[in-house]
Amino acid sequence: MDTAPRSGCAINAAVEVLGDPWAMLVLRDIMFGNRRHFRELVAGSEEGIATNILASRLKQLVAAGLLTRDDAGRGQRAAYSLTEAGIQVLPVMVALGNWGLAHRQGERRLRVRAELLRDGGPELVAAMIDELRELHLGVPRPDPGAPRASDQLRAAYEAALLDNASR
């Protein structure tokens, strides 16, 4: 980032980058929704992020080294990718999701992924990190034949949608 941190505290340094709710939600949507383009992030925002806020947060996340922006050619859309630092936010997301599950109410369809990550434990989180590395950094997964963590998360979400629809 362009500004000096308020202190040398590691928690402060993390909060200065990750403490903004919109920044965390943008990272969530890139990680779990594979939304890599501006319009996808706007259209898929459950929380209704405004375009000016999204543009600002994307710039901040690129400046902080959590995302890269692939410059688009004429007539193409710019794509955002997670860096290794961005991928390493996944365990923080899982911890936040666990706290939210334990202490906040919410819709089943929006909680199911956090439940699956909680219940899948470190192995599922590690598999998701491997998959994000493959998708964003081009690093092959250690076990390419293993089921994709994202497929498990997507299936759980779709099952919850069907369950809600049948009620």
Of 109 and 23, more confident: 23
Q: Would you say 32 and 153 are in contact if contact means Cβ atoms under 8 Å apart?
A: yes
Sign of the Cα pseudo-torsion (25, 26, 29, 30, in order):
negative
Residue 9, pLDDT score: 92
pLDDT of residue 1: 46
For the segment 68-104, what is each residue's pLDDT rounded down to a tens digit?
999 877 777 899 999 999 999 999 999 999 999 999 9
Name the segment(s) of the chain with CATH classification 1.10.10.10: 10-82
pTM of the prediction? 0.89
| CATH class entry, domain 10-82 | mainly alpha
* 123: Cβ contacts below 8 Å, ≥ 6 apart: none
Query: Please, how many CA atoms are within 13 Å of residue 7, restricted to the half-sphere of its CB?
Result: 5
Instruction: Give me the sign of the Cα torsion angle 14, 17, 23, 29.
Output: negative
Could you tell me if 110 and 45 are in contact, meaning their C-beta atoms sit under 8 angstroms apart? no
Query: For 8-22, 60-74, 149-163, which range has the lowest pLDDT when averaged over its residues?
Result: 149-163
